[in-house]
Amino acid sequence: MRSLRFIAAEALVSHPQVVQQSLDGVAHNLYPLLFKASYLLEQAEVIRVLLEHWPLEEFRLSALLGPLSEPTEDLRDRTCRACLEACVQGLADHVLRAGGPRRLRVADLTGVRDVKVQQCPCGRALGRWGRTELLARTCCRLQAESPGARSPVRVLADLFVTEGNFEVVVQALGPADPAPLRVHCLSFRADSLGPSQLLQVLRLAGPGELRRLEVVHNVRLHAGHVQWLLAQVGFPQLASLTLPAKAFDAPPTSTSAPDGEDPLLTSIAWELSQMSQLTELSVAFSTLTGKIPKLLGPLRTPLRTLDLANCSLNHADMAFLADCTHTTHLEVLDLSGHSLFVLFPSFFRLLSRAAQTLRVLTMEECSIEDGHMSMLILALSPCHELCELRFLGNPLSARALRRFFVALCELPKLQYVEFPVPKDCYPEGTAYPQDELAMSKFDQQKYDVIAEDLRAVLLRAGRGDIQVCTPLFGSFDPDIQETSNELGAFLLRAFKAALENFSRALEQME
């Protein structure tokens, strides 16, 4: 229930001209209330005016929109374009405003969440890439209009940099003179950049404060780049690290050591061990056969999140994972792309030791078949903290899935399940793992009947709270969705370059 104070605030912000005329008489402690009311009602004009005249030393977006502020409605998943643009424009107006002291010292724009469906009235989102470009362009404009600012505002931001906004971000992060808005990056995502571009922008972003680093998809790194990046830049506060596919491949010009040692891996592991805050590590789609003990063994802090999808792990790797100190702290684990029941003894032990903490488990394309169901149910039975389970791409029949769903009802905190299209819905003899074309050619009507039967299993057990679905091509990724056109163009250029290199190689052979 909303308080009379908030109802009054909504009434006031519904009349932007009245707000502008009466703002001088508003108590400073009411600004946060007026801001949340304006954001809820999408009153962008009022938001901009409030930021221009913000009388407090701090503006923290996540706290203002979160459930601890009045009212308790959580607005952090409303990345409303109009409201967020008004916030940044209001900050610019604030630092340019002449006359009177300015108290604002910190503007924290982090903590909002990108979701698939926007709940704001306009329904138009401003994603992380768009927020990065907006902030960068605003900073560049202010550098030109108000150079040599006497009391800059420290802006905390989550940045997403690609080839498309690289130049403006570099300009915004590295002004020669003190700038009115000084960007401090807490979370950084990079895509479609070259290694030298990545190094340049990370050095400007302030790696000493960085908490989360995601280097994904179309950033082509090998082990030499990774070692150089970690050793030369340094990330003392880093808590989460994501590296792109093939990041542990040897450099093209490297030669194997005569004793079989991998000095680059040893160096990377040592650099990671110096990160005393590191608790999340994602190295999916890197070939790490037999290397997991050397990579994870030196780490000084237990990992809570570990993504080893499609890393070609062997028995020694799984045995290490099952017995290492990280296991009893794991909350999120992805082992997709491995034949888990070939590695079953270690996998079973791993789950039994992680059972007290494991919240999210992903086992996509793990060759799980009907005959493995008893062992899988047994392995999962102690995982009473499990909230999310994903096992797409496994060749399971409707009968096996029904049996599995009965067992899943016994996991008290389970809320979300992604299950595969039953193999009954595909033509007989369909091979696994499937490519995208084969994956999409199934009997939709038959699937709908089976899916409804599986939901009925949950309902009969009183577990209608468990959400189940089959996202054939993966879950929604707001960052990929936002930059899909740029990524597509980048891939086309890469494909063209590969064809040209192939053609030149053929000519040389002739």
Q: What are the tens digits of pLDDT across the range 145-168?
A: 876 666 789 999 999 999 999 999
pLDDT at residue 391 greater than cutoff 90? yes
Predicted local confidence at residue 409, as pLDDT: 98
Q: What's the burial of 170, exposed, middle or buried (CB within 10 Å: 0-12/13-18/19+)?
A: middle
Q: Which of 209-213, 368-372, 439-443, 451-455 has the lowest mean pLDDT?
A: 439-443
pLDDT average, residue stretch 497-501: 58
Non-local (6+) Cβ contacts of 136 within 8 A are: 165, 168, 169, 171, 172, 173, 183
pLDDT average, residue stretch 38-43: 96
pLDDT average, residue stretch 52-68: 96
Confidence of residue 503 (pLDDT cuts 50, 70, 90): low
**Among 421, 451, 418, which Cα is nearest to 439's?**
421
Predicted local confidence at residue 201, as pLDDT: 96
Run of H or E including 416: strand 416-418
pLDDT average, residue stretch 276-283: 97
Q: What is the 3-state secondary structure (H, E, C) of 366-406?
A: CCCCHHHHHHHHHHHCCCCCCCEEECCCCCCCHHHHHHHHH
**Interatomic CA distance for residues 384 and 359, integer angstroms:** 9
67: preceding bond cis by omega (within 30 degrees): no
Predicted local confidence at residue 473, as pLDDT: 75
Collapsed DSSP state (helix, strand, coil) of residue 281: strand
Q: Which of 117-126, 166-175, 393-402 has the lowest mean pLDDT?
A: 117-126
Burial letters 358-395, b for 16+ CB under 10 A, else e: bbbbbbbbbbbbbebbeebeebbebbebbbbbbbbbbb
Phi, psi values for residue 160, rounded to 5°: -130, 110
Who wins on pLDDT, 498 or 187?
A: 187
Who wins on pLDDT, 108 or 96?
A: 108
**Interatomic CA distance for residues 8 and 398, integer angstroms:** 56
Report the chain's mean pLDDT, rounded to a whole number: 91
**Interatomic CA distance for residues 322 and 54, integer angstroms:** 53
117: DSSP letter: S
Non-local (6+) Cβ contacts of 260 within 8 A are: none
Q: Which of 67-76, 174-183, 249-258, 448-457 has the lowest mean pLDDT?
A: 249-258
Per the CB < 8 A criterion, the answer to whether 419 and 454 are in contact is yes
pLDDT at residue 184 greater than cutoff 60? yes
- Full-model pTM: 0.91
* Tokens matching residue 471: 């996202």
pLDDT average, residue stretch 353-358: 98
> For the CA atoms of 185, 187, 191, 193, what is the dihedral angle to 10 degrees?
30
pLDDT average, residue stretch 91-116: 88
pLDDT at residue 99 greater than cutoff 70? no
pLDDT average, residue stretch 16-38: 93
Confidence of residue 386 (pLDDT cuts 50, 70, 90): very high
Predicted local confidence at residue 150, as pLDDT: 67
Query: What stretches of 243-387 show up as alpha helix (H) in DSSP?
Result: 263-273, 292-296, 315-323, 344-354, 373-380
